[in-house]
Amino acid sequence: MTTQDLVEILARSQVNPTFYSIGSEVDQTLCLIHQDQMWTVFISERGQRFDTVNFVLEDNACVYFLKVIFELTRTG
């Protein structure tokens, strides 16, 4: 899976885009960025990163991101 695939899945799943950011760090969101040859997933809050997980492979980062965003946005 690529980040483009991820964007398409999130759109089809109707996940509110204000809950996440792909490619840049945005406060109060779940973020996925590619930096220093690593893919990093984290929650950005008040300028700090929380629950940071690093991946070598884009696919692994995207799968993990989906798991987390669905957990965070699940209702009921």
The SS3 of residue 48 is: strand
b/e map 46-71, b = 16+ CB within 10 Å? eeeeeeeeebeebeebbeebbebbee
Q: Using one digit for the tens of pLDDT, what is the confidence trace for 20-35?
A: 999 999 999 999 999 9
- Average pLDDT in the 25-47 region? 97
**Chain centroid, CA 27 distance in Å:** 13
Residue spans of the domains in the chain: they are 3-73
Residue 69: half-sphere exposure toward Cβ, Cα within 13 Å: 27
Q: Which of 22, 46, 48, 50 is nearest to 34 (CA)?
A: 22
pLDDT for 34 equals 98
Is the pLDDT assigned to residue 76 strictly greater than 80? no
